[in-house]
Structure 1
Amino acid sequence: MPEGHSIHRLARQFQDVFGGQQLDVSSPQGRFAAGAHLLTGHTLVEALAHGKQLFLRFDHGLYLHVHLGLYGAWSFGGDDSFTGASSIGAPRRVGERETGKATSEDGKGYSGPPAPVGAVRVRLVSAHGWADLRGATTCAVITAAEAATVLGRLGPDPLHNKPGDREEFIRRLRRRKTAVAMLLMDQSVLAGVGNIYRAEVLFRQGVDPHLPGNKVAAAVAGRLWDDAVAVMSDGVRSGRIVTTPRALWPAGTEVAPDADAHYVYKRNGLPCRTCGTAVGLAEMAGRKLYWCPGCQSS
């Protein structure tokens, strides 16, 4: 499932390529035909992200609300003025990824979107390009009040990092007896963090993932927030989750190889990069948990 940095990159791309433009909205698959009818012919005013939720606000006050879930992905294309990634999403079989450039190989010869491929739930088309959505968990037209209700259920987003957000996260985390590793994935506590950021931030801060939230010192909770802000902001800039320093990459490497991008995520059984203890793997609430028993003991 895409983590928060990918959704913020999606919002930025939608704002860049569709912001202020009148869009033709359709549902080639047919399942979103009624929703598309409500949006087509209207102008996209603003693209917003909060955690893993994307909101596209149109000029008549309605929103397209999308949560990609495990299988959802957007693909893009257009002429030579239509820039950005060609695909952002989370096809379950390949994991989270972002690929290519949105412009076609012959952008100047662009004559409109191609025929839909597969089950395209929603297609957005402007004068210069298109975007197709497939496989999303949530795809709905909602009102401003309904958007506010969705946002009201979510915790603070490290990528907004507004005044008071840090303190609110600390409060929400420390009022619960649930394991801190579960709380970091609870979107009502912290919006946008998924399995990779959860594992890496806990390791980087030396926190036992099994420690109950109400046993986490306020100062430690604050450091978890600060680190989430830092690594997720890096993810927005690069389009990848890289949590290791350059010193751990092969000599002369400017970009972290996938095998060296993380401290513990998917490194179970391998020696910890810090202490040499074998990285552990367990299941917690149906998700895989990676941690170092040596560096992250209570």
Structure 2
Amino acid sequence: MFKLNFKLIICLLTCLLFVYSGHAQQTQVLMIGTFHFENPGLDASKLKSLDIKSVAVQKEIDHIIAAIVKFKPQRVLVEYPYQDQNKLDQLYQDFLADKIMSGLNDKSEIYQIGFKSGKALGLNKIDAIDYRMNLKGTDSVMKVITQAKQEQLMQAIPEYIKNISSNFNNLVQSGASLTDILLAQNTQTYRNADLGFYTNLLTKAGEPNNFIGADVAAQWYKRNIYMYSLIQKKISPDDQKVMVILGASHIAALGVFFKLNPAYKIVELADVINK
């Protein structure tokens, strides 16, 4: 009798969560984590350039977009400052009208995947969901680590950053396709390592009364939870399928958030491309 009541309570709570979220059914979320196609060098890891505009890569992008069109997302959300939505709207309208755009690199993933997918899907809008913050860099963390004489961390953090760069650069140099690179960046193993950097390494930095490492990690999670908040607010109850395009590190964090919300079902890039 107790087991029956317990199961009933769990069922009722699950139903309430769906009602609370405002979704009668799960919204499928295609999550695409990417490197920055235009390679601006803004991240800690320094990556080699991939010729996004080459004939071979453009054919790959066409194939990826064709797979996205089959998935049929009703909304595309990209890493563009949310407060500049009006500017993004104008850029997208210029793109649709084949006008010269000012303020968006046409090598970027926003243009190459976001805009191109939106046009192929017949969407009249692309959603901006980035929340920019002035985050402290790893240099300030490394300074504290050095002062605290944490020798293992002195080696582990630079080694992690170096490995991220090396793995990517080795793929580029070996002639790996854009598709292969994106699929590699959208595995759970890659995401776990990315999350582990912030959660397991940075949080150890400094003496017990110094929390700069934890502060950097918290600020990074804050940025991601803000973006997750924006995504939830942008998605309407009528959206059955959506696509989110963000840097791979952001997708790693958002994947955790989406898994905790029964209103959403994660769809991986591999599932869409391999269909």
TM-score, length-scaled by structure 1:
0.26
Q: Which structure has the highest helix share of the two?
A: 2
TM-score (norm 2): 0.28
